[in-house]
């Protein structure tokens, strides 16, 4: 029987995800994890809170040798209040955002410029290495292992490539693309701290966060005519249903659809 930590590593989960699941399981220490989970599932609890709790307990049961069918019968269904979808930034808001991003020092500045242009998760972009910037079939992009240790290739448009080249012209990273303190990669926390700062200075940007910038990238792709399967591949979603939830039409898209009716 493998330990919980070994099981999470074998699943190819990101360090941030492994840390979250470990912390969740620690909160149930000394108790029956399934009974502990049942007490925390409530219709008024946001579903976004419920799902990680359920996933952590599921992984624990798998590490203890339980079969999928057993786990399905043991775990309570994930009931909860639907999480509010944070709106993507509009083109006008993006102009304000990019101007705000330019006020910060690198490497945060370049990360801020890349997030809405690549759609990478904050943990993915912070963990990039120099050799993740590649050319494949004449297309420059970022090739890396993302969530669930799945290899992804995300092409860079001209603006994203220029942001990286400007960064290289000023800095010479040796290992991690975006270095933090103590010779390690910059942390997602450091970037989130800056997005919170921008949000306070520019309230018109709403609930700005790295996740909103990822959502902005997805919505921009949809507006430009990308099909759902393409968006799924670019975002690195395992299930297309996840992509479909991500992409809800904004007012401009709804108006455009109606105008096309004539």
Catalytic status, residue 211: yes
Written as six digits, the tokens of 48 are 């976004």
**Do residues 7 and 59 lie in contact, with contact meaning Cβ atoms separated by under 8 Å?**
yes
- Which of 59, 109, 121, 215 is the catalytic position? 121
Q: Determine contact, residues 163/117, Cβ cutoff 8 Å.
A: yes
214 is catalytic: yes
Task: Count the alpha carbons within 13 Å of 62 in the hemisphere toward its beta carbon.
Answer: 15
**Residue 246 appears among annotated catalytic residues:** yes
Q: Is 189 a catalytic residue?
A: no
In the set 81, 192, 199, 211, the catalytic residue is 211
145 a catalytic residue = no
Catalytic residue among 147, 167, 176, 215: 147
The residue annotated as part of the active site, out of 18, 109, 117, 237, is 237
Nearest to 59 by CA among 98, 2, 111, 112: 2
Element (H, E) at 244: helix 240-246
- Nearest to residue 192, comparing CAs of 250, 123, 128? 123
Q: Is 201 a catalytic residue?
A: no
Burial category of 175 from C-beta neighbours within 10 Å (exposed 0-12, middle 13-18, buried 19 and up): exposed
* Closest listed residue to residue 40, CA positions, set 74, 79, 66: 79
Reference 92, options 9, 204, 171; nearest CA is 204
State the catalytic residues: 121, 147, 211, 214, 237, 246
């Amino acid at each position: 029987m493998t330990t919980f930590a070994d099981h999470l590593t074998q699943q190819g989960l990101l360090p941030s995800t492994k840390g979250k699941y470990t912390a969740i399981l620690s909160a149930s220490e000394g108790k029956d994890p399934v009974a502990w989970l049942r007490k925390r599932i409530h219709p008024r609890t946001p579903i976004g809170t419920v799902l990680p709790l359920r996933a952590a307990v599921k992984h624990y049961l798998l590490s203890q040798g339980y079969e999928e069918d057993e786990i399905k019968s043991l775990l309570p269904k994930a009931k909860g209040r639907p999480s509010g979808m944070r709106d993507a930034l509009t083109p006008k808001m993006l102009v304000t955002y990019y101007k705000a991003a330019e006020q910060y020092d690198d490497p945060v500045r370049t990360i801020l410029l890349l997030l809405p242009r690549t759609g990478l998760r904050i943990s993915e972009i912070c963990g990039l290495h120099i050799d993740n910037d590649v050319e494949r079939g004449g297309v420059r992009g970022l090739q890396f292992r993302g969530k669930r240790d799945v290899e992804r290739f995300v092409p860079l448009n001209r603006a994203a490539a220029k942001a990286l080249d400007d960064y290289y012209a000023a800095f010479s990273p040796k290992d991690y693309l975006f270095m933090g303190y103590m010779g390690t990669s910059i942390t997602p926390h450091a970037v989130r701290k800056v997005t919170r700062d921008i949000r306070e200075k520019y309230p018109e940007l709403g609930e700005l966060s790295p996740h909103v910038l990822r959502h902005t990238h997805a919505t921009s792709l949809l507006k430009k005519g990308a099909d759902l399967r393409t968006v799924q591949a670019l975002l690195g979603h395992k299930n297309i249903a996840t992509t479909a939830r991500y992409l809800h039409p904004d007012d401009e898209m709804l108006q455009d659809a109606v105008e096309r009716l004539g």
